[in-house]
Each structure stands twice: as C-alpha cells, then as structure tokens.
C-alpha cells in the first residue's frame, strides 16, 4: 500500500482481537467486528463531508469523480462540492478503494461531518460493504435529507410557537413588509417596546421559515359583493400582480389573506449554497453595519486615450482594469480607507496590504476573486490576472485562498448599461465601490460646448471606519488617477 496513511491502524494478532471482541473500537474507523485496536482485516474509513471553507456548515454534492470499487490515492479528486463560497474539488487524502458511495450526485444540504462514502484498504473488501449503511443514522442519504426535513418541521411549528398578540403595534414600514411577504402579524414574535413588531421581527420570521397562510380565512367571505363579482381573469393573477385599489392597510390585508390560485403553475428555483450565504450575510450587513454612501463623477477621456495607445503596442486593458489599478493606488495613498472594523476591539484596524476583491457573476452566484498587492502590480499584470481569475471563477475552479479575504471590493455594472447603483458592504471589509457605465455629458470648454466621457462611482462604506473626510480623500485620489491615467503605468 506504500506509505502508511494517518487513517491506517496497526493490526494485532488474532488472539488480541478475540480478547477485545466485545469492546467497541474507539477510533473513527468502522470494522465488521467490534474490537479495541482494529485487529480485523476488514477495516474501512468513513469519508465525511469536508469543511472546504472556514465558514462552511453544509454543502451540496454536485458530482462524484469516482466509482465504487475504484482505486484512489492522495490528491485524487473524489467529488465536486458546492460550499458557501464556491464549487470546489474535494481531494482524497489516503490510499484505498472506494467501497460505497452513500449519497447520490445532487444531494443537497449535507451537514459537514456526515458520512458520504466508504474507503477500504484492499480491493477484495469492497463487496463486503455492498449494503452498508451507517449505524443508527438510516444511511448518509437520510442524513443528507435531515436538515431539510428539520427545517420544514420548524417552519410548520413556527406559527404556533411564535404567535404575536392580535393587538401588537404595527408601523407602516412593517405593514408593507408583511404584505410583501404574505405573513400574518399573528405569526411574528414582537420584540419592540410595548409589543411592537419591528422589521427585524418580520425578517427573522421569514428566515426561520414561517410561511403565509395556506387558505383564505372564513372572514374573507365578508368582502363586498362587488369584489366577489370581479372578473375571473383577475383572480388568476398572482397577488403581487394585482393593482392596489385601496389604502395601504387594505392592500396589506388582501395580500396577507390571498393564497395562490388553485392550479396555477409556479416553479421553485433551487437556491445554491452560495446564494443562501450571500442572502444571509448581506441581510446581516444591512442590519448591523452603518452604511455611508458617497458618489463622484470620474473623467474617462484620458482612459480612452491610454487604452488606444496600449492596444497599438499589443497590450489590451479594459476600463475595469484601470479602475482596479486606480483604486489600489488611492488606497495606498489613503491608508485609513484600507481598513476594517474589529468588533472585539471596537476600533478600525488597518489592513496589511491592498487586496482588492472583484465581484464576478457565476451561474451559482457572485464570487469575489482577489488581486493581492494590487498597488504594487503593473496595469498589464492586473489585466492578465483578473481575466484568468474571472475565467476560473465562472468555471468553479478557484481555490479558497483566491477568493477568501480582501480589504476592498469593486462591483462594476457599467457593462450592463447601469449608470449608478449602491452596493452592500461585504463583511468583514469596510467598503465596496459600485462602478457605473461610461456616458457622454455636455461641458463648456473655452467658451464653447463640448462632449466629455465620464462615469459615476459610489462608495458604500462602514461609517465606523470611513467618515466623510476619509471617503472624500479616497474618491479625490481615485478620480485624479483616472483623469491622469499614464500614472497607472508607473
């Protein structure tokens, strides 16, 4: 078998095994006969769902790269696993033979540590585990379905456990959120003063899986006769498509009480692990981080000339490449902008280097590959690196160290015709810059009208780290580098 693996155990003489036959093996390996020191020749290793990122608690098994009975060694790819960050390759750490695959391809929400495959030492041992299932767990496939079943059970129990008094106070913003979600106030636990329901209470109920009522209450029969006689085609539309015909309170009550029409065709869109985590963290970001928004218009005439000059020399750079380089130089000039908030110290902490995360859209969600030490890299090097990273990001081939970390983020929607937008901070970073598209504006030059190319960038910054002065100094430095782009070549 070659070099001894950390999972391989010392085999003892048969006499020692017989003496310990009634004692369960305390190690993680599983054997056909209970014993103390793995004396049985039929030793196998459970391969559990790994934690492929520091924050991963569960994952989806996208595809197996091995078959039952196949020999594997260290470094062989066992499967593709979708984590909370990306779809990554799971590499084997030991030598052996795959005895059994316990979960099918496409299994979702498998908790870290759940057995998903078995590995044995010898090929002839594979047949012994044809019908194997983890003891007491109903099989790993059942374990993979457990989180979803538990979530469904909690969602069904939540309305009864979280009922709010009928006289709970509800503000206009909360009433609107209840209407949009279809929840009843009675299904939300109030935490505000004197029993008031807050927006956070409604969001917490949605996150906990509390569902809208499944049927119209009998009281709905008391609607005016005119409403009951409405044309049938209006009743076939989803509640969200109905036109508001009453004040907000009436619209809220109608949205909360109206279920989807019977027989209507709806398709549930599967949510990837990445999208689930993005939704959770961005919600936490908006709720816990004081967002400061500062915008500036940036001159692009010089960038256009620089790109043409470089193209003539065989070097291709994009506006986004120039944005990354200019932002990196601005962060180096304004160190207070290259920092994050340390909740433990309750203070801003300077980042050790200028590492810029670039938002890249993939089929499973956004991912942010990092240009590390961007202020020290040439414009051409940044252009080549971001193309390579973005390509592997879309192919789900990034390594964790290539997208975990970063001190500043850039999100560019200019190529989609967006003039300006406001991004949400990606914790633990303290700032993200939203980049809009180039546009022509009229200006006066030498007393005559002229056209100028410019774009709008907007900082979303943690106001505990950035104040108005830091944000304005950063934007001034960034705008200066974009207006005088040949400095980007230094």
Q: Report the pLDDT value the prediction gives residue 21, as an integer from 0 to 100.
A: 38
Q: Report the pLDDT value the prediction gives residue 4, as an integer from 0 to 100.
A: 40
**CA angle in degrees (0–180, nearest 5) for 286-150-30:** 115
CA distance 32 to 47: 17
Per-residue pLDDT tens digits for 43-56: 568 888 888 876 77
Cβ neighbour number for residue 229 with a 10 Å cutoff: 7
Write out residues in the chain with pLDDT < 70, as ranges.
Answer: 1-44, 54, 133-169, 171-172, 193-194, 213-264
Per-residue pLDDT tens digits for 394-441: 888 888 888 888 999 999 999 999 999 999 999 989 999 999 999 999
Q: Report the pLDDT value the prediction gives residue 83, as an integer from 0 to 100.
A: 81
CA distance 233 to 228: 13
Q: Report the pLDDT value the prediction gives residue 86, as an integer from 0 to 100.
A: 76
- Nearest CA to 57 out of 105, 114, 104 is that of 114
CA distance 289 to 287: 6
Give me the sign of the Cα torsion angle 329, 330, 333, 334.
Answer: negative
Contact 59, 41 (CB under 8 A): no
* 291-489 under CATH 3.40.50.300, yes or no: no
Structure tokens at 185: 């106030």
Q: Report the pLDDT value the prediction gives residue 376, as an integer from 0 to 100.
A: 94
Q: Which CATH number fits domain 14-140: 3.30.379.10, 2.40.50.100, 1.50.10.20, 1.20.120.80?
A: 2.40.50.100
Q: Where are the domains of the chain?
A: 14-140, 162-212+245-258, 291-489
Give me the sign of the Cα torsion angle 120, 125, 126, 128.
Answer: negative
CA distance 451 to 437: 16
DSSP type of residue 243: P
Q: Read off the pTM.
A: 0.55
- Nearest CA to 64 out of 108, 101, 95, 111 is that of 101
Q: Report the pLDDT value the prediction gives residue 28, as an integer from 0 to 100.
A: 42
Q: Report the pLDDT value the prediction gives residue 205, as an integer from 0 to 100.
A: 82
- Nearest CA to 356 out of 336, 391, 330, 380 is that of 330
């Amino acid at each position: 078998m070659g070099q001894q693996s950390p999972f391989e155990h010392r085999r003892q003489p048969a006499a020692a095994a017989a003496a310990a036959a009634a004692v369960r093996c305390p190690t993680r390996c599983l054997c056909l006969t209970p014993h103390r020191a793995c004396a049985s020749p039929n030793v196998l290793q459970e391969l559990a769902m790994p934690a492929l990122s520091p924050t991963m608690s569960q994952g989806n098994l996208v595809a197996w790269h091995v078959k039952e009975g196949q020999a594997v060694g260290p470094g062989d790819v066992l499967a593709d696993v979708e984590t909370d960050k990306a779809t990554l390759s799971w590499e084997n750490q030991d030598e052996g033979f795959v005895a059994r695959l316990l979960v099918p391809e496409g299994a979702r929400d498998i908790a870290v540590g759940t057995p998903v495959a078995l590995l044995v030492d010898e090929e002839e041992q594979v047949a012994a585990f044809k019908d194997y299932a983890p003891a007491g767990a109903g099989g790993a496939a059942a374990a993979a379905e457990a989180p979803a079943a538990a979530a469904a059970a909690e969602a069904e129990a939540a309305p009864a456990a979280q009922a709010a008094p009928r006289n709970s106070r509800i503000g206009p913003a909360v009433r609107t959120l209840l209407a949009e979600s279809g929840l009843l106030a009675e299904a939300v636990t109030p935490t505000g003063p004197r029993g008031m329901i807050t927006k956070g209470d409604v969001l917490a109920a949605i996150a906990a899986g509390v569902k809208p009522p499944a049927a119209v209450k009998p009281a709905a029969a008391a609607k005016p006769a005119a409403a009951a006689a409405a044309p049938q085609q209006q009743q076939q539309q989803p509640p969200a498509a109905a036109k508001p015909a009453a004040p907000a309170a009436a619209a809220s009550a109608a949205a909360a009480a109206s279920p989807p029409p019977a027989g209507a065709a709806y398709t549930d869109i599967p949510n990837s692990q990445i999208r689930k985590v993005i939704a959770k963290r961005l919600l936490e970001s908006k709720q816990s981080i004081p967002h400061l928004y500062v915008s500036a218009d940036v001159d692009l005439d010089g960038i256009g000339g620089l790109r043409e000059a470089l193209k003539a020399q065989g070097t291709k750079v994009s506006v986004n490449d120039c944005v990354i380089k200019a932002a990196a130089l601005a962060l180096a000039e304004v160190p207070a902008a290259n920092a994050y908030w340390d909740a433990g110290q309750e203070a801003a902490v300077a980042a050790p280097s200028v590492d810029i995360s670039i938002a890249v859209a993939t089929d499973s969600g956004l991912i942010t590959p990092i240009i590390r030490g961007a202020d020290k890299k040439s414009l051409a090097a940044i252009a080549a690196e971001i193309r390579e990273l973005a390509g592997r990001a879309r192919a789900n081939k990034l390594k964790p160290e290539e997208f975990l970390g970063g001190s500043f983020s850039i999100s560019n929607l200019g190529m989609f015709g967006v003039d300006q937008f406001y991004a949400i901070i990606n914790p633990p970073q303290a700032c993200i810059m939203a980049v809009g598209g180039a546009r022509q504006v009229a200006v006066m030059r030498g007393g005559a009208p002229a056209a100028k190319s410019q774009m709008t960038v907007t900082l979303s910054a943690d106001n505990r780290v950035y104040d108005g002065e830091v944000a304005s100094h950063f934007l001034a430095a960034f705008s200066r580098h974009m207006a005088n782009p040949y400095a980007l070549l230094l």
